[in-house]
C-alpha cells in the first residue's frame, strides 16, 4: 500500500475538518454531532457500526471512508477477519464494481493490521 496516499488522505481529512470548524458551519457541526451519536454504543456496539460502515464504504467506493472506518473498527476492537467479512458484505452488495473498491480497503488493512 502506498503509505503516502494514506497519509495524504488523513492530512486532507484533518485539514478539511479544521477549515469547516473554523468557518463555523452549523451544518458541519450538526454532522459531527450526528456522527458521534451514530457511532456511540447502543443496541449495536461501536465496533459493529464501524463494520457496517466499512461495507457501505466499499459499496460506494469512498476511499477516505474506507480508511477512516477500517481504522475506527480496529480501534474499537475489530479483528482482521471481522473487517474482511465487512468488506465481503460490501462486495456482495455492490457486485463486480465493488470488488474494485475492495482493493483499496484491503490496502488499508495491510497498513492498519501490520
pTM equals 0.85
Looking at residue 14, what is its pLDDT?
Answer: 92
Give me the count of residues in the chain: 114
Class of the domain covering 3-112: mainly alpha
Looking at residue 47, what is its pLDDT?
Answer: 98
Looking at residue 51, what is its pLDDT?
Answer: 98
Cβ–Cβ < 8 Å for 74, 92: no
Q: Dihedrals φ, ψ of 25, to 5°? A: -70, 115
Task: Tell me how far apart the terminal alpha carbons of the chain are, to the nearest angstrom.
Answer: 11
Looking at residue 101, what is its pLDDT?
Answer: 86
Q: What digits encode the pLDDT tens for the residues 13-32?
A: 999 999 999 999 999 999 99
Cβ–Cβ < 8 Å for 59, 94: yes
Looking at residue 1, what is its pLDDT?
Answer: 61
List the chain residues with pLDDT less than 50. none
Spatial CB neighbours of 46, under 8 Å, sequence gap ≥ 6: 39, 40, 72, 76
Amino acid at each position: 500500500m502506498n503509505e503516502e496516499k494514506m497519509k495524504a488522505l488523513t492530512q486532507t481529512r484533518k485539514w478539511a475538518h479544521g477549515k469547516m470548524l473554523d468557518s463555523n458551519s452549523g451544518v458541519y457541526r450538526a454532522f459531527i454531532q450526528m456522527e458521534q451519536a451514530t457511532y456511540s454504543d447502543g443496541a449495536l456496539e461501536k465496533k459493529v457500526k464501524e463494520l457496517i460502515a466499512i461495507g457501505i464504504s466499499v459499496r460506494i467506493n469512498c476511499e477516505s471512508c474506507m480508511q477512516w472506518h477500517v481504522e475506527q473498527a480496529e480501534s474499537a476492537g475489530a479483528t482482521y477477519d471481522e473487517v474482511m467479512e465487512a468488506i465481503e458484505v460490501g462486495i456482495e452488495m455492490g457486485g463486480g464494481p465493488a470488488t474494485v473498491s475492495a482493493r483499496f480497503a484491503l490496502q488499508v488493512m495491510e497498513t492498519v493490521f501490520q
